[in-house]
């Protein structure tokens, strides 16, 4: 028998109370862990998809919508702009790189993006099979598209008009897959890339009153990278002063978005913190109640030769064991839930996150929670220390 064994046995002498307290602690811990992991990874995923994109030029409207639609492909576009207007800014000497995007069609819910091969370079995407397009209606598909839609080099598919699935298709003009990209863990995995010409050709034929002039070509957005950070001071303002286009900086719009989301996260965090504090009080109440019930047992331990510090230690150990049990359950639950969420998000949204990462904040949380367990046990432990054997034993006669 050791003090540890005794504390453990005492905990399981009252299994219902122990389980309830451990679960309370576990739920609070898991909530915090989930929020930490999700918050951290969400910010990282969001930042990674926007890497190398300093400014998005597109049709006037909501700047956040423009960023969401053209960087994350998560919203409908604000409209189209003329290629001429976009090219004017793309050729500005303050711009290092400009990538045109033309959206409008999709295949099985995956967006078909008319663009240049620079777009793949932006995410450091390499070809897994095949080659890039060299002619209209040739397409390169992202890794998730290839896997889920069953596309491989030489597959043929017809795009559907619109960004959802199940609408009118361009059956007469089938795309041919010429390449498949390696997985990048970015938004690219769920896109079908083709040349701008493909998109134009398709829609020129599709629209009955198409204009033959090249300069009437439209694109959805242009992704710009600055040649120097100084460009941020003047370029967005100049673009926004123009009549038909607007400029939106992903970093700025995202900060705004995360700020809004952050308010919600703060609320959830506060809720989780309340859960944990409740768990702390509940552990305190359980230990204190057990102490009252065990005063004679503690006196008996002293009769058997235990010292005051040993009794105090046994109570602290009990609090620490109970907390550790709850916290361990909570960490497992939190990471497990995150892993489940990651599996679902990757399958449904192509967002690659993980439940298997370990954040520095979790270590702080661990130490903090164990400290809270000790604190909850401190008063009962002190009472155990002060318990007077002779008066406890005689008080009962």
Partner 1 sequence: MRTREGAALHIRDLRHGYADHTALKLDALDLQAGEQLVVLGPSGCGKTTLLHAIAGLLQPTQGHIQVGCQTLSALKPAALDRFRGRHFGIVFQRLHLLPALNIRQNLLLAQRLARMPQDPMAVLEMLASLGIAELAHARPASLSQGQRQRVAIARALIHQPSIVLADEPTSSLDDDNADRAMTLLREHARSCAASLLVVTHDQRMRGAFERELLLEAPA
Assess 309 for contact with partner 1 (CB under 8 A). yes
DSSP result, 291-303: HHHTHHHHHHHHH
Q: Judged by CB under 8 A, which of 12, 168, 263, 264 binds partner 1?
A: 12
CB of 324 to partner 1, least distance (A): 18
Query: Can residue 303 be called a binding residue for partner 1 (CB under 8 A)?
Result: yes
CA distance 351 to 356: 15
Torsion of CA 378, 379, 384, 386, to 10 degrees: 120
Residue owning tokens 């995956």: 110
> What is the rounded CA–CA span in Å between residue 282 and residue 299?
25
Residue 10 in the binding site for partner 1 (CB under 8 A): yes
Please check whether residue 159 is in contact with residue 105, taking contact to mean a CB–CB distance below 8 angstroms.
Answer: yes
Q: How many CA atoms lie within 13 A of 303 on its CB side?
A: 11
Per CB under 8 A, the list member of 140, 299, 353, 377 interacting with partner 1 is: 299
Tell me if 296 contacts partner 1 by CB under 8 A: yes
Applying CB under 8 A, does 47 fall inside the site for partner 1? no
Least Cα distance to 289 among 13, 2, 6 occurs for 13
Question: Residue 234, interface with partner 1 (CB under 8 A)?
Answer: no
CA–CA distance, 68 with 254 (Å, rounded to integer): 9
Answer yes or no whether residue 297 interacts with partner 1 by CB under 8 A.
Answer: yes
State yes or no: residue 308 binds partner 1 (CB under 8 A).
yes
Tokens of 235: 């370029």
Question: What is the contact mask toward partner 1 in residues 363 to 392, using x (rule: CB under 8 A)?
Answer: --------------------------xx--
Q: How many residues bind partner 1 (CB under 8 A)?
A: 27
Torsion angle of the four alpha carbons 36, 42, 44, 48, in this order, in degrees rounded to the nearest 10: 170
Selected binder of partner 1 within 86, 177, 301, 384 (CB under 8 A) = 301
Asked if residue 113 lies in contact with residue 133, where contact means CB atoms within 8 angstroms, the answer is: no
**How near is the Cβ of 339 to partner 1 at its closest, in Å?**
36
By CB under 8 A, is residue 19 in contact with partner 1?
Answer: no
Q: Scan for tokens 């699935």, then name that residue.
A: 165
Q: Does 317 bind partner 1 (CB under 8 A)?
A: no
Among 71, 140, 146, 306, binds partner 1 (CB under 8 A): 306
91 is a contact residue toward partner 1 (CB under 8 A): no
Which residues form the interface with partner 1 (CB under 8 A)?
Answer: 1-2, 5-6, 9-10, 12-13, 296-297, 299-309, 389-390, 393-394, 396-397
């Amino acid at each position: 028998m050791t003090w540890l064994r005794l504390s453990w046995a005492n905990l399981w002498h009252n299994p219902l109370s122990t389980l309830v307290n451990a679960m309370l602690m576990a739920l609070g811990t898991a909530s915090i862990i989930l929020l930490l992991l999700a918050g951290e990874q969400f910010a990282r995923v969001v930042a990674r998809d926007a890497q190398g994109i300093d400014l998005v030029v597109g049709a006037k409207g909501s700047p956040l919508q423009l960023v969401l639609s053209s960087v994350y492909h998560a919203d409908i576009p604000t409209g189209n702009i003329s290629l001429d207007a976009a090219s004017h800014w793309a050729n500005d000497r303050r711009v290092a790189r400009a990538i045109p995007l033309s959206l409008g069609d999709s295949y099985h819910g995956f967006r078909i993006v008319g663009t240049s091969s620079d777009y793949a370079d932006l995410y450091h995407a390499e070809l897994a099979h095949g080659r890039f397009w060299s002619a209209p209606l040739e397409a390169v598909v992202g890794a998730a598209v290839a896997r889920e839609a069953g596309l491989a080099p030489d597959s043929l598919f017809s795009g559907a008009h619109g960004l959802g699935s199940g609408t009118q298709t361009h059956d007469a003009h089938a795309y041919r897959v010429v390449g498949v990209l390696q997985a990048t863990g970015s938004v690219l995995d769920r896109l079908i890339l083709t040349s701008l010409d493909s998109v134009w050709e398709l829609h020129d034929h599709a629209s009955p009153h198409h204009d033959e002039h090249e300069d009437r070509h439209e694109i959805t957005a242009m992704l710009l990278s600055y040649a120097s950070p100084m460009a941020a001071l003047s370029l967005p303002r100049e673009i926004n002063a123009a009549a038909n286009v607007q400029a939106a900086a992903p970093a700025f719009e995202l900060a705004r978005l995360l700020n809004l989301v952050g308010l919600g996260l703060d609320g959830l965090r506060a809720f989780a913190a309340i859960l944990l504090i409740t768990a702390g009080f509940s552990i305190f109440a359980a230990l204190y109640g057990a102490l009252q019930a065990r005063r004679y047992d503690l006196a008996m331990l002293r009769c058997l030769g235990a010292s005051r510090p040993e009794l105090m230690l046994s109570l602290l150990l009990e609090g620490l064991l109970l907390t550790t049990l709850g916290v361990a359950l909570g960490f497992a639950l939190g990471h497990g839930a995150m892993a489940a969420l990651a599996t679902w998000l990757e399958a449904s949204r192509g967002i690659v996150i993980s439940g298997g990462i370990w954040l520095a904040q979790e270590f702080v949380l661990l130490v903090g929670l164990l400290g809270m367990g000790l604190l909850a046990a401190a008063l009962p432990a002190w009472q155990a220390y002060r318990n007077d054997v002779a008066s406890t034993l005689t008080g009962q006669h």
